[in-house]
Amino acid sequence: MKKKILSVLLCIMVVAGSLAGCSNNGGNSGNSEGTATKPAENTSAGSAAFSYTLPGKYMNWLQDLNYWEDMQKLSGVSVELVNGGENDDSYYQNIDLAVGSGKLTDALIVKQSQAAVYQAQGAFMDLKELINEYAPNIKAYIDANPDYASMITSTDGAIYGLAAQNPLYNNLTFYRSDMFEAAGITALPTTIDEFTDVLRKLKAYYGNETGYYPWVGRDSYLHYAENFGCIDYIDDQGKVHGIYNSSLGNGTGYDIYADGFRDMIEWYHTLYTEGLIDQEWVSGTSTEEDWQTKYLTGKGTICDDYFTRPTWFMSNAADNPDYKIEVMDLFKTNSGEAAHRYQKLVNTDRYLVIPEGNKNAVTVIKFLDWLFSKEGQEVMHYGIDGINTKKNADGTYEWIADFAVEAVKPVGEENIGIYQDRLTFPYPVDNQSYYESLDARVQSYCIDYFNKYSSYAKQIVYSEEQAEQRSNLMAKYQTQFNSEVLSFVKGETPINDDTWAKFLGNMENAGYSKINEVDQAAYDAMSK
């Protein structure tokens, strides 16, 4: 009998255990999935509070920001940060699940497409009324910046979110000046042809035996499209050229019908066959770590990459006293004209939205309005007076903290964070303060470089239908484009009139013109 009772109890326990996972009480009530942090403990932040979901790494940045507590006190609002996922892909998928379950925090970061679609479906609030009533600073900014307004407003006039902005920066070309000197290169290249000659000289000097390539890099290898005149762009008449991607150099934004596009592919073929460019990188089998190792160990001399990377390499090669990196100017086009690089003003992956019917919506919008106010912008751009910067009598700021020291502090350690907080909340960007916050070495080359060669590109937002159509087309176009271009570059397909015509035909079949039409229609709709 005892055995029987024991067996019955065991079965009940197993059933209960099986169902335990089905309970909906496992997460934070009222929050999306993730771990939450306490809002500012100091009650002087005021009784107003809201919860905010954002990707984990940005949450860490905010928590490490040395004026995060002060920000909350000054604004009078406490913010409970909620970790919505550690990497971007999982974060946005978690947001979809959270939207489905209805468990959303008072504010959250989403992609532009999620903001626009879910707002139209009724999941997120139209912020227009709230802004008109409670956010004079935001309203003034939107009214004064029609380009920004067009990026956050739907065709029926609803404001579906507030977008974070990017400072103006681009990739730039840097080189190991000590290796240039050793190879006897004294003049820096100013055109693609001169650049090719420099690569050949380096190759001749350093050889091929040790896996040396003059030009090494990461991610997409098709750089310098601006020098060949085959970059994607929107002309003054509003015509979209190429697959529009705001020319960020990630392998999608090219005008394949531009004369220079074939020249560019032929140039890359030359670089590949002569071993002037890292062949593993071009083939897509090289990782970021491989690139870093090559550049740190002298198996590469030139990179075209993120503008703070020279400092990173210099810091990591501190044990090599000869290791020196300098920056070269952006090459002119082969016809002698100045080239240009572009950046997106609005970060389409960072829209702050408020769920429909949220009781703390006014608190959220008031906090955001403070970020757009004079006081809020001063804090966001220069930190706290006396801690991050010293405000001079003439209104200028002097940085107290050293970027080079702050940038290498590990997660969990308090730092100035100016250069990171731009991804955490939407507020007006200020390039001057951004550049000034960087270390002296980066400042010495980047301010002049960006002033000369960088601009904000026109941006496009898509309707739900356009986004779906474009996404489907890009899924096959991008793969075929990468595959066929690489085949030319590696020499697997010879470049001649017949193969080029076939390539263009294949790109058409893959949807090139259809994508361009979607881009054009979306831009036209925004321009109305």
Q: Where does this chain bind another protein (CB under 8 A)?
A: 4, 7-8, 11, 14-15, 17-19, 22, 89, 92-93, 96-97, 99-100, 113-114, 117-118, 121-123, 211, 279-280, 283-285, 462, 464, 467-468, 470-472, 474-476, 478-480, 482-483, 486, 490, 509-510
- Cβ-proximal residues to 494 (8 Å cutoff; 6+ apart), any chain: none
Contact criterion met (CB below 8 Å) for 440 and 84: no
User: In terms of CB distance, is 113 or 358 closer to another protein?
Assistant: 113
Q: Which is nearer to another protein, 452 or 476 (CB)?
A: 476
Q: How far is the CB of 14 from another protein (least distance, A)?
A: 4
Q: Nearer to another protein by C-beta: 96 or 414?
A: 96
Work out how close the CB of 167 gets to another protein at its nearest, in angstroms, rounded to a whole number: 22
The smaller minimum CB distance to another protein, of residues 278 and 421, is found at 278
Torsion angle in degrees (nearest 10) through CA of 155, 159, 160, 161: 140
Nearer of residues 39 and 275 to another protein, judged by Cβ: 275
- Alpha-carbon distance of 513 to 231, in angstroms, equals 16
Question: How far apart are CB 328 and another protein at their closest, in Å?
Answer: 28
**Smallest distance from the beta carbon of 480 to another protein, in angstroms?**
8
Report in angstroms how near the CB of residue 461 gets to another protein at its nearest. 10
Alpha-carbon span 104 to 102, nearest angstrom: 6
Between CA 148 and CA 164 the distance in angstroms is 10
Minimum CB distance to another protein smaller for 122 or for 207: 122
Cα angle for residues 323, 197, 229 (degrees, 5° grid)? 105
d(CA 352, CA 240): 29
Place of tokens 């596009």: 261
Q: Min. distance of Cβ 470 from another protein in angstroms?
A: 6
Nearest approach, Cβ of residue 481 and another protein (Å):
9
Nearest to another protein of 46, 211 (CB atom): 211
Q: Give 126's contacts (C-beta < 8 A, 6+ positions apart).
A: 119, 158, 159, 160
CB neighbours of residue 55 within 10 Å: 25
- Other Cβ atoms less than 10 A from the Cβ of 364: the count is 28
Specify which residues 241 forms β-bridges with. 233
